[in-house]
Amino acid sequence: MTFLQLLYRSIPRTPDFDPSDLAILRASLRNNAARGITGYLWRANGQFFQALHGPAEAIEALFARLEADPRHRDLEILLKEPAEDASPFPDWSMGYDHFLALELDAELDENGARRPIAAEEARQIYARMVAAAEEVRRYGSAFPYARGAGEDEAAYLARLDASA
Ligand SMILES: Cc1cc2nc3c(=O)[nH]c(=O)nc-3n(C[C@H](O)[C@H](O)[C@H](O)COP(=O)(O)O)c2cc1C
């Protein structure tokens, strides 16, 4: 089976901290776990960055659904390449956190435009998301809808379900 890693960015149609992200996360955790997909989603000041890893067919099917999802627009694939079978996001059917776009030097400009990001830089962003996922797995994140300290994925999903 071929595995892919994919990184894309998009523009949310909802504001940061919007409760609609809860529905995204609950669907993602359930669907991805069933399909062998893992990954991480960042809300970064008016942008989404999402890293995905999984079987190529499952990733392609998910990306087709993502492109049709009205909760964001202008999806741009920054990286899509074959990956090792083992996920760099073990224990993350889907993670979620907030991040400052300026830390990536990837803010929107005054016209809402995005500067180009080439594959090598996209690989570095992917690696940063992998590191962030590991940090949050260990220590938790205090941001709304993110996983808390010591919370495993089952407890996380149960908490998200309870707050929906
Ligand atoms: C930024 C963003 C990220 C998403 N990530 C995922 C994901 O990782 N997995 C997933 O199944 N759906 C994800 N979704 C939701 C899908 O677009 C779609 O609504 C969902 O897969 C439909 O699942 P359902 O038929 O179980 O409701 C995401 C949506 C957005 C806007």
pTM: 0.98
33 CB within 6 A, ligand 1: no
Share of the chain above pLDDT 90, in %: 97
Show the DSSP H helices in the chain as ranges: 20-35, 56-67, 119-139, 153-163
Distance in angstroms (rounded) separating the CA atoms of residues 86 and 96? 20
DSSP letter (8 states) at residue 147: P
pLDDT digits (tens, 9 = 90+) for 87-138: 999 999 999 999 999 999 999 999 999 999 999 999 999 999 999 999 999 9
Q: What does the block give as tokens for 147?
A: 């996983």
Q: What is the CATH number of domain 3-163?
A: 3.30.70.100
* Ligand 1 centroid distance, CA of 71 (Å): 10
CB 145 within 8 A of CB 160: yes
Position 149 pLDDT exceeds 90: yes
CA-65 nearest atom, ligand 1: 17
Neighbours of 69 (CB within 10 A): 13
Sheet of 72-83, strands arranged across = 72-83, 3-12, 48-55, 38-43, 95-98
Residue 45 beta carbon below 6 angstroms from any ligand 1 atom: no
Going from the Cα of 65 to the center of ligand 1, the distance in angstroms, rounded, reads 7
Number of helices (H) and strands (E) in the chain: give both, helices first.
Answer: 4, 5
Q: Where are the domains of the chain?
A: 3-163
Smallest CA separation from ligand 1 atom 27, residue: 27
Q: What is the pLDDT of residue 17?
A: 85
